[in-house]
Each structure stands twice: as structure tokens, then as C-alpha cells.
Amino acid sequence: MSDPFALEFMRNAFVAGTCIALAAGVVGYFLVLRNQVFTTDALGHTAFTGSLGALVAGVNLLAGVFGSCIAVALAIGGFAGRGRDRDVAIGTVFAWVLGLGVLFLSIYTSTRSAASGAVGVSVLFGSILGLQPSQVAVASIAALVTVAIALLIARPLLFLSVDPDVAAARGVPARALATVFLVLVAATVAESVQAVGALLVFALMVTPAAIAQNISARPWTGIAISAAVSVAAVWAALVLSFYVSLPVSFFVTALVFAGYLASEVAKRWHAA
Amino acid sequence: MPWDLLADLQLLLQFHFMQNALLAGTLVAVLAGAAGYFVVLRGQSFVAHMLSQVGFPGAAAAVLVHTSPVVGLIAFCGVAAGGIGWAGPRLGAGSRAESAAVGSILAFSLGLGLLFFRLYAGSAQGIYTFLFGTILGITDGDVQLTFVVAVLALAALAFIGRPLVFATIDPDVAEARGVPVRAIAIAFLLVLALSVAITVQIVGTLLIFSLLVAPAATATRVTARPPLALALSVGISLVVTWLGLAIAYFTNAPVGFAVTTLAFIPYLALRAAHAR
């Protein structure tokens, strides 16, 4: 009980956790920059319903999560409206999507053994220590591909996010780029669900990016800080949960939130 | 077999837990329908969302120290509402910094709720109860507390209702006429906190939109006149809750699913009709 790396599930968790955190940190930075935080919330809810739907239908869980998240991301991309009406619309639709997830959950738990009751909790709050080797491989590769694509479109995406009008005038394909980005967000949410759960994706995608924006106004530095904070939080949470018997997801949320509060205080103190 | 409404009603009211659920549900529906109207009018649906998620660790903490979850919900939601009312005007509404802050608080409060549950060694079912609502766990004490809270909150809402509509539709003119806009905004947030705290009992923290926002969103699409829209919102909320509880009772479908689906259908129908 001294070396966390002696156990295979810990090594798996570190590999998958690192790749996922990298993707969440990088994609999350653009998410906060583009002020699309609530889209993540919506996609997190979808991931819950998607994964339970996959369990009920007996298909691969990851396929269900990725499929449902990407489909919904494309649907959101199609929404043209903005403002108050859009908030109400998205909120009402996602309350129902979640309600549907509850139905799947009850079907799944009543047709399987009693032990399967915990499956919903692991989808909601993550179960990084319970990953199968195949899941680790799929999640890691998907996460690294997400990072690569995000960095590839980073330059025009930054331009578009900071000054949409000038970017459009310069011939940046605004609509296509925004849609590609939403698909990236969906993929990242789907990957993160295993590590921190559908409800806590904010902790890896939004909070590190918020910290980065408090520390630096320069985009590339910000992306690097966001990714570094995200990875550091996952590592620290895994080590802590190895020695203290509490959920990994709790440590992830608590660590990044402490960092966020510290960065807020530092920003105020710096400005004063 | 002919359908016998009376017999079904008798069957529905046969058990004490169901009587409690219907009593609490009725109180919740009236308050959620009324408060929800102002939420939609003021465009504060995500504040309602955030308050409900902050309520989750509150409920879990209350269970941990062996008190009623409603007490924890009211305490946490009340503090959060006070905090938003106090800090709100300094954060630009809808700004990047605000949504990042809200997102960070959401994630942390849910993580905290998970921690409290693990400390209590609660079952998966216990977590689902708070996240998605239940019709089984409402005690006599909860019904009494819900009654007191609902009456207080409705009285407060009746008291501030008129200036609140004024302050929402035209804040500048209201301020010039001597309406205490800021104080009313904070008072409304506190009423909203109470509404969220008792609504969570029926539909859970994650499905709060289905009772607090969907009926009001439907009502404001039907009519723009405040008294009529308010009444319609309460009416839809009541029908959705009663039918949802009955469906959950007779079919074994989760109450959260029944209520969200019933609330979603008229909203979707109206939107579709509007779009054509």
C-alpha cells in the first residue's frame, strides 16, 4: 500500500486520466473564451442519457456516449437563436433528456441484478479506477486526436472567438469552424464522462480554463496553463484517493475549485 | 373493463406515502408555477438551475447529520441566493467571467454532494432520490415544513409581485418611481431559493426545470398578460404534477421521467405551432 503505480488499475487510470485532462484543458480554454459553458452542461446531461440508453439497448457504452453527444452538438450548432429564449429552450429540452435518462436507468436496474444499480452513479460521477484496458486505449486515443485537431484549428478559432466580424471578413469559415469546435467539445465531454462523470465535466473543462484566463491574457500561454492545471488536478486527485478512501471525482472538483478561488484572490490582489 | 375514475382515485389515495406525495406535490406545484413565471420573465432560468444544484450537497449534508433533507436544501439554497443577490450586480450578467464562475461552483457543489454521500455510506438509490426526485420518501414532517415554506413564499411573492413585474419590464422607470429595484431583486432570489428547495423533493435537483421553468415558458407563449400567464403557469404546473405522480404510481415509471415528459409536451407543441 505504498506505491500507487504497482497496481494495474492505477496505471490505467493515470494513462487515461492524463490524456483526458489534456483534451479537457485545451478544448475547455476555447469553451470559456467563446462563452459556451452551458453547452457543456447540456452535453453532460446528454452523455448520461446516451450511456444508459446504450446499456439498455445492449450496445457499447462508449459508442452510446460519443454518438449521443456528437448528435446533440450538431443539433445545438443548428440553433440560430440567442439570449433568454434560447436558455429556456435548451434548459427545458435537457431536463427532458435527463428525465429520459432516469427512465433508462430504471429499466436497466429493474431488468438486471441489484448490483447494477450503481451504474448510473458511476456515469454521473465518474469511475476512473474501474476502467477496462480497452476503454483506456479508446479514451486515450480519442483524447489525443481531440487535442491534435483542437491545436490544428486553434489559430483561426482564436481569431473567430476574439473578433468574429473581422474573422468572417477575412474569409474564416465561421459556421464550419464553430460546428467542428462543438463536435470537439462533444468528444471531450464523452471522454471526460469516464473520469469525472457526466455531472462533473465542468471541473476539468471549465475551471482550469477559468484559472488560466485569470492568470494570463495571452492565448497560447492560457491554453498551456489550462492543460497543465487540468492534468495536475487529475494526477493529484488519483494519488490522494489512493491514500485517502474518498472518491477521485470529489478530489478533482475540490482541487480545481481551490485553484480557481486562489486565482481569483490573486487577480484582485494584483489589480489592487 | 370500463375505466372507473373513482376507483382509481381511491386506489391512488390508499397509501399514506401517496397522500403525502400528493399534498406536498400540490403545494410545490403552486409555488413553482408562480415563482417560475417570474423566473422566465426575468430570464433567470440558469440561476434556478444553479440553486438546485447547490441544493444537492445541502440535502446530502442534512442526511449526514440526521435532519430532514428539506432543512439542508433551504439552508444551502438560501445562502447561495443571498450570495448571488449580493455579488450579482458586480459580475456582468451573461459575461465570460460569470459563466466560468457559475460552472466552477456547480462542479464543486456536486462533487461536495458526492463526498457527503460517501461519508454517509449511502446507497445509489439515496443519490438518485435527490437527483431525480421520489414519491416514496416524503414524511409528515416534510409535508408540514413544505406547507409553511409554501405559504410564506407565496405571501412574499404576492407582496412583491406587482413591483417585481414593473422592475423587470422597465427597471429604469421603476427606479425613478421609487421602487427599491435591488431589494426586490434580492427578495425574489430568496423566494426562488425556497421554491427550489421544496420543488427538489418531487422532481430532484437535476430536473428542476421541468416544474420551475417549463410550465411558465409554456404560459408566456400563450399569453403576454401577467395575471393570466401567472394563473396558466400555476395551472399547468398542478396538472403536470398530479398526472406525473399518478403515472409514476400506476406504471412504476420514475416520477422524474413522468413529470419532465408531461411538462415538455405542451412546450414542444406550442413551439412547433409557433414555428409554422
Q: CA A185 to CA A12: how far, in whole Å? A: 23
- ipTM of this predicted complex? 0.80
Q: How many domains does chain A have?
A: 1
Q: How far is B201 from B141, CA to CA, in rounded Å?
A: 13
Within 8 A of B95 by CB-CB distance, chain A residues are: 35
Chain-centroid distance, C-alpha A244 = 25
- Is the dihedral angle over the CA atoms B207, B164, B93, A233 positive or is it negative? negative
CATH of the domain at A21: 1.10.3470.10
Average pLDDT of chain B, as a whole number:
83
**How near does any CA of chain A get to the CA of B257, in Å?**
4
Interface of A with B in 168-207 (CB under 8 A): 199-203, 206-207
What pLDDT does B46 receive? 75
Among partner residues A106, A120, A250, which is closest to B111 by beta-carbon distance? A250
Grid cell digits, residue B231 = 394563473
Instruction: Tell me the residue range of the domain where A21 lies.
Output: 4-271
Contact B115 A33 (CB under 8 A): no
Determine which helix (DSSP H) or strand (DSSP E) holds A231, and give its type and residue range: helix A219-243
- Domains of chain B by residue range: 15-208
Contacts of A189 in chain B (CB under 8 A): none
Inter-residue contact A34 to A162 (CB < 8 Å): no
Whether the CB-CB separation of B47 and B84 falls below 8 Å is answered with yes
Tell me what pLDDT residue B97 has. Answer: 72
Which of A70-74, A237-241, B136-140, B181-185 is predicted least confidently?
A: B136-140
Of A32, A87, A110, the CB nearest to B43: A87
Mean pLDDT for the stretch of residues B23-45: 89
Closest C-alpha to B230, from B147, B145, B150, B164 = B164
| Exposure string for A244-272, b = 16+ CB within 10 A, e = fewer | eebbbbbbbbbbbbebbeebbeeeeeeee
Name A185's Cβ contacts closer than 8 Å, sequence gap at least 6: A27, A31, A36, A39, A40, A43, A73, A205
8 Å CB contact of B95 and A210: no
B15: DSSP letter: S
Query: What pLDDT shows up at residue B125?
Result: 66
| Inter-helix orientation angle A37-57/B96-120, to 10° | 40
CATH number (3.20.20.150, 3.40.50.300, 1.10.3470.10, 3.30.70.20) of B15-208 reads: 1.10.3470.10
Is the model more confident about B220 or about B137? Answer: B220
- Give the single-character DSSP code of A112: S
| Residues of chain A numbered 1-20 and touching chain B (CB < 8 Å) | none
Spatial separation of the C-alpha atoms in residues A137 and A134, rounded to whole Å: 5
A 216-245 residues inside an 8 A Cβ radius of B: none
Q: How many interchain CB pairs under 8 A, A with B?
A: 169
Q: Is A247's CB within 8 Å of B115's CB?
A: yes
How many secondary structure helices (H) and strands (E) does chain A include? 13, 0
pLDDT of residue A113: 57
Taking the model in full, what pTM does it have? 0.82
> In this complex, do B96 and A256 lie within 8 Å of one another by their Cβ atoms?
no
Contacts of B207 in chain A (CB under 8 A): 95, 98-99, 102
User: Rounded to a whole number, what is the distance in Å from the CA of B213 to chain A's nearest CA?
Assistant: 7
Least Cα separation, residue B254 to chain A (angstroms): 6
Alpha-carbon span A229 to A217, nearest angstrom: 16
Interface of B with A in 122-141 (CB under 8 A): 123-125, 127-128, 131-132
State the Cα–Cα distance between residues B219 and B52, nearest whole angstrom: 22
For residue B94, the SS3 value is coil
CB contact under 8 A, B114 and A32: no
- pLDDT exceeds 70 at position B210: yes
Mapped onto helix, strand or coil, the DSSP state of residue A79 is coil
Q: Of B99, B112, B209, which has the smallest distance from its Cβ to A37's Cβ? A: B99
On the question of pLDDT at B142 being above 70, the answer is yes
Which residues of B, range 25-54, sit inside 8 Å of A by Cβ? 40, 43, 45-46, 49
A79/B contact by beta carbon, under 8 A = no
Using CB atoms and an 8 Å cut-off, which of residues 232-261 of chain B contact chain A?
A: 252-254, 256-257, 259-261
Determine, for residues A95 and B257 on separate chains, whether the beta-carbon distance falls below 8 Å.
no
* Tens-binned pLDDT, residue by residue, of chain A (272 aa): 567 777 888 888 888 899 999 999 999 999 888 888 777 888 888 888 888 888 888 888 788 888 888 888 887 776 645 555 667 777 777 788 888 888 888 888 777 655 556 777 777 777 788 778 888 888 889 899 999 999 999 988 888 888 888 888 888 888 888 888 989 999 998 888 877 787 778 888 889 999 998 888 888 999 999 999 999 999 999 999 888 888 888 899 999 999 998 998 888 887 76
Contact A202 B214 (CB under 8 A): no
Q: Do A99 and B207 touch (CB under 8 A)?
A: yes
Q: Give me the residue from B97, B108, B252 closest to A257, CB to CB.
A: B108
Kindly state whether A88 is in contact with chain B, defined as any CB-CB distance less than 8 angstroms.
yes
Nearest-by-Cβ selection for A202 from B43, B103, B261 = B103
Q: Residues with Cβ < 8 Å from B80, sequence gap 6 or more? A: B50, B51, B54, B193
Q: What is the pLDDT of residue A80?
A: 46
